[in-house]
Amino acid sequence: MHKLTKSTMVAAAALTAALGLTAGSASASGTWTATPGGAWTAKASSPKLTDTSTGTQLSCSSSSAAGTLHSGSGLSGTGISSITSVAWTSCSGPFGITFSVTANGLPWALNAVSYNSSTGVTTGTISGVKAHISGAGCTADFAGTSSTSPATLTGTYTNSSHTLSLSGGNLHAYNVSGSCLGLLNTGDSATYVANYVLAGSQTITSP
């Protein structure tokens, strides 16, 4: 019992330290540089939303996004860029059902968390994410850990390719209604995978 308690305490301490470092790096001010900054646009080919509980996949031919990146040095990683618009084109699911997708809760915030100077890759999050899908009598909302809390997506930004890649987060489906045939269910977890390539060069670094 003593060994178990001691091990548990050590593990808890390590986890707390790790979380503390993550939170600190995400909210630390004065450690980030962005050039040239300003308005940006980006496009992703074949983005996919997957209900990980049922395996149902919603694919779109493309998605476009736009926002504004802060400029200069000594920047906070939190909200280093805003995402002011997101749109999806030609989205469909199983059985050829077509869907429209609408972004809600804009602007979303792009947050820089850590930087790998050897690869030029920033790891970060997009917070404030909500969306609605509708098609052939099947509708659903996507949010975070509850129907009223926005989701947070995880991803990376690569300087050399000017690409924002999204692959994780805490998306869940809510308010599923209509003839969704069990393909989507309220409470199901979901992932959104997309690679947004910026139209121009933007560079994000940190010491």
Local structure of residue 95 (DSSP, 8 states)? G
Q: What is the C-alpha separation between 166 and 191, in angstroms, rounded?
A: 9
**Contacting residues for 139 by C-beta, under 8 A, at least 6 apart:** 132, 133, 175, 176, 177, 178
Contact 104, 122 (CB under 8 A): no
Q: What are phi and psi of 147, to 5 degrees?
A: -65, -20
Please state, for a pLDDT cut of 70, what percent of the chain lies above it: 86
- Quick one: pLDDT at residue 159? 98
Q: Which two tokens stand for residue 74?
A: 């000594």
**pLDDT, averaged in runs of 10, over the chain (207 residues):** 36 36 43 97 98 96 98 97 98 91 97 96 97 93 97 98 96 93 94 97 96
- Quick one: pLDDT at residue 181? 84
Q: Which two tokens stand for residue 110?
A: 């792009």
- Quick one: pLDDT at residue 29? 55
- Quick one: pLDDT at residue 97? 87
